């Protein structure tokens, strides 16, 4: 695991750690980010954000936000989390 994921809302850090993949609800469709993904900034629709640590997937329901990928760091900022 060499990719770092950070998910934040205005009031909390939801997750921060190393992951092997992240799947997000992009405004033009779901997409998965793997290690060494090209730099990207994308807006996100409300929906499930899923990430994998070792062989375990974790999923949360998040509101609108955006994702930025740069140098194996995935930063996700959302308005809020519906469930954890």
Instruction: For residues 49 and 64, give the distance between their C-alpha atoms in angstroms, rounded to a whole number.
Output: 11
- What is residue 20's DSSP assignment? S
Tokens 């409300």 belong to 46
What is the pLDDT at residue 45?
A: 97
Q: 5 with 74: CB under 8 angstroms?
A: yes
Residue 34: per-residue pLDDT: 96
The overall pTM is greater than 0.95? no
User: Residue 22 forms beta bridges with which residues?
Assistant: 33, 51
Quote the pLDDT of residue 84: 47
How far does the chain reach from its first CA to its final CA, in angstroms? 23
Q: Would you place residue 2 in the very low, low, confident or very high pLDDT band (cuts 50, 70, 90)?
A: confident
């Amino acid at each position: 695991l060499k990719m770092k994921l950070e998910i934040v809302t205005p009031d909390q850090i939801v997750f921060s750690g190393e992951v092997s993949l992240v799947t997000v609800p992009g405004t033009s469709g779901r997409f998965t980010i793997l290690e060494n993904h090209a730099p990207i900034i994308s807006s996100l629709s409300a929906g499930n954000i899923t990430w994998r640590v070792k062989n375990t997937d974790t999923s949360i329901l998040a509101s609108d936000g955006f994702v930025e990928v740069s140098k194996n760091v995935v930063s996700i900022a959302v308005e809020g989390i519906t469930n954890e």
